[in-house]
Structure 1
Amino acid sequence: MEEHLATMHEKLRHELPNFFLKIPDYSIYAPDVEFQCQHLHLHTRGRAMYAVAVALCRALAWGYFASLRLELLALTRHPEDWSLRARWRLTGLPLHLLLLRWYRRDKRTLLRSYDALSTFFLNSGGLIRCHRVDKLMPAPTAVPEPKKLLVASALAAALAPP
């Protein structure tokens, strides 16, 4: 089972970053794969329904974001329950912000990020039997450098002796 975990770890490490850019490889999933998305209250069973659910999630994401990027933060193996856990971040420019702030040249301040945790459970054949998406939540946005400099100078001026 350890070699199944290692093989699937490598496949997911290459597959997940391109999840929203190209069609996923459904051959790594069992025919009776179960998909649970707590955020969308979605629960499906079977590879065909999994493909439909993934297409729905991809369409929702592309409908909300004008540009979209998925980065894999961590992918860990857990041999005690034959699972792989992936922490990932979805970063993009919301379409409504792009339409309202189209005149801005630097759109980095408009980017929004969402962190999520996915758990992939393997069956005895080394295929994914269950994919569960948990804890989809907004990620803290980074403060741009000019604002940091402005805050630091205001704080220094306030703390300086008269």
Structure 2
Amino acid sequence: MMMPTELIFDPKLLGTKVQAKLPENLVIRPLSSTDFNSGFLDCLSGLTVVGDVTEEMYVKRFELMKRTLCKHVVVVYDNTCNRVVATGAVFVEPKFTRECGLLGHIEDVSVHPHYQGKKLGALMIEQLKDLCEVLDCYKISLNCNTNNIPFYEKCGFSKKEQQMVIYL
């Protein structure tokens, strides 16, 4: 498969370490503007409520994320069935603290149910951590539900503080 031309960020930022650990039919790459029709939102729906997102909405959000350079969405794409089978993202928050450092937030890690149990989640986390390092983040944080704490601890994270939310 050729690499899509309209990507959310430069694929060179991903390196080749994680790709070398994937089966030959799977490619790890940045999100593409054409992934709306490749099952990207289906993959995300295993994680949270996606809602009724039209292709127009998808393209507008993709363009906004691409312009801001703060959201780096990564997908694992299966060339045999032409589908996104896993996804994860890093939101880079510019800070005034830590000498105007960058804080990486890992978000939206999801693996399609048919691909779970193949270590794709752990490989996605490894790729996102590597990406944060390339982007020169001083720290990586993530929020998860209690059931996923053991998984993220295996990926090198440790529990710290508590999250508070208000849904509007």
Bin of the TM-score, shorter chain as denominator length? 0.3 to 0.5
Which is strand-richer, 1 or 2?
A: 1
Instruction: Please report the TM-score for the alignment, with normalisation by the length of structure 1.
Output: 0.35
- Which structure's relative contact order is higher, taking Cα pairs within 8 Å and 6+ residues apart? 1
Q: Which has the larger radius of gyration?
A: 1
